[in-house]
Structure formats: structure tokens, C-alpha cells
Amino acid sequence: MTNKLTTVPGTPEERKRKRKEYERIYKLTHKNIISQQGKRYYRKHKDRINKRQKIYSANIGNFKKYNITLGEYNILLKKQNHVCAICGEHEKTTLRGKVKKLAIDHCHKTKAIRGLLCNMCNRGLGYFRDNTKILNSAINYLDKYKKSFDNQSDELKQFLYDMIVGFGDAWGGGVK
Ligand SMILES: [Zn+2]
């Protein structure tokens, strides 16, 4: 009677380690076959692979630059509720008909990732040279203009009111 082996020997960890070792050796000794298989696969699925590569380069190419994985990016995205960290809005800018991913914003000095921004806010920070002094000055500038505009608008309203009432009197009866 022969001893039939019904179970593969070793613990699951050992079997996993053996399989990995086998795969490693297989890859080393079958380089040509694997390379040919890869080429055949590419020829067969060329369009799909190229399309995926294009999207990858456009959107995810930056991941390598900032040393972040897609998983880490998605965690950040979830933390920010999928909106820009500054304006709180979803990305609207499109690239080849597809809405872009939020940009990975980083500190130019330390290279550390600060957060994810929409295209407009990301560019805005760049145009303001990432400089809080200039940004504050811009806020004050806009506020000052708004105040003077509001005042002017009230004065204008008053002026128009006076004009109409005045004309009304002149026409006899005034404005009702
Ligand atoms: Zn934004």
C-alpha cells in the first residue's frame, strides 16, 4: 500500500514562503518565456493598456513625485470629504473630458504634503507665492474695496432717492 499524501506538508506560512521561493526561482529561470508572455499580453490588450497608462500619467504620475501611494491619497481624500481643503468645493477642472483629481499640495521648502486642493486654489496659492503676507494683503485690499463700494452704493441710493423725490415735487405730488 502506498502512502497517499492528502495534505501539503507544513504550516500555511511555510507553504506561502515555499511558493514565493518557487515563484522567485521560476522568474529567474524563465525570463524569456515571461518576457514573451508579457509582450503577447501587451499586443493583445494594447489599446486598453495605453489608455490606462495615459490616465495614470495624467492623474497619478504626481504620486511618485510626492512619494505618496494611491491608497494614502484616497485616505487624504476621504479625510477632506472629497473637497478642496481651501474652498471646500469639488474639483471642476477637466482633462480630456474627465474631472481631474484634487491636486497634491506640498510645501516647496520641506516637500511635505499639506493637503489636496482644487486646481484654482492650488494655482491661487502659487500665484500668491505661498506667501501669507501677500495673501493677507490681498484680503485687506478686497475688504477695503468692498467697504468703499458698499458706502458708495448707499450714497448712490440716497442720491437717486433724493432726485426722484425732488423731481416728484417739481412735477407736483412726489413719489408714492
Ligand atoms: Zn479650492
For residue range 38-70, what is the model confidence (pLDDT) as tens digits? Answer: 999 999 998 888 877 776 665 656 777 777 888
Residue ranges covered by each domain of the chain: 62-130, 136-171
Q: How far is the CA of 85 from the centre of ligand 1 (A)?
A: 7
For residues 55 and 98, give the distance between their C-alpha atoms in angstroms, rounded to a whole number: 9
Q: How far is the CA of 4 from the centre of ligand 1 (A)?
A: 67
Q: How far is the CA of 140 from the centre of ligand 1 (A)?
A: 20
Q: How far is the CA of 3 from the centre of ligand 1 (A)?
A: 70
Question: Per DSSP, what are the bridge partners of residue 15?
Answer: none
Amino acid at 37: Q
* Whether the predicted pLDDT of 86 surpasses 70: yes
Tell me phi and psi for residue 95, to 5 degrees: -135, 120
- CA-CA distances (angstroms) from residue 90 to 45, 62, 86, 171? 33, 19, 11, 56
For 62-130, CATH number out of 3.40.630.10, 3.40.50.150, 3.40.1800.10, 3.20.20.70 equals 3.40.1800.10
pTM above 0.85, yes or no: no
For residues 141 and 106, give the distance between their C-alpha atoms in angstroms, rounded to a whole number: 27
**Residue 175: predicted pLDDT:** 44
Q: How far is the CA of 102 from the centre of ligand 1 (A)?
A: 9
Amino acid at 118: C
